[in-house]
Structure 1
Amino acid sequence: MASAFAGIIADPIQKGLRLHHRRLHRLIDAVEKHWNAEHEDADFVAYDPYAAWLMDVFDILSSAYRIAKA
């Protein structure tokens, strides 16, 4: 329970020190470098959206089955 309220104290301190801002920019830079490294190859094809879509379809179907069964 204490960890749930730790953000009440820690977040304003981190905001004041601009730690969130720096972390966000480091994250964006790292993602950009990774993205550019993956896309240097012209034959790159992203299959992740298809896998995510299939997982969503199975999740929806299983939820519908559980609701219909109940």
Structure 2
Amino acid sequence: MAKPDIHPKWYPDAKVYCNGKVVMTIGSTKPELHVDLWSGNHPFYTGTQKIVDTEGRVERFLRKYGKSSEQSSDDKKKK
């Protein structure tokens, strides 16, 4: 049993706002929530995420730790 008068008020239909628009309704201890990002405009969830390879980090990693795909295919042909 919950103790009386120690819990915050529960709002089962709290509105979540993003850029001034209601994007969803959830349960919360606050009647309104204002967010900058949500799954509807986040690049990861919308598929617009761009992977930026600055300074050739992938190539530098492959040179240091792994063989390139050309070398591994040449090795297979020799065997």
With normalisation by structure 2, the TM-score equals 0.27
Point out the structure with the larger helix share.
1
Larger radius of gyration: 2
With normalisation by structure 1, the TM-score equals 0.29
Q: Which has the higher contact order (CA 8 A, sep 6+)?
A: 2
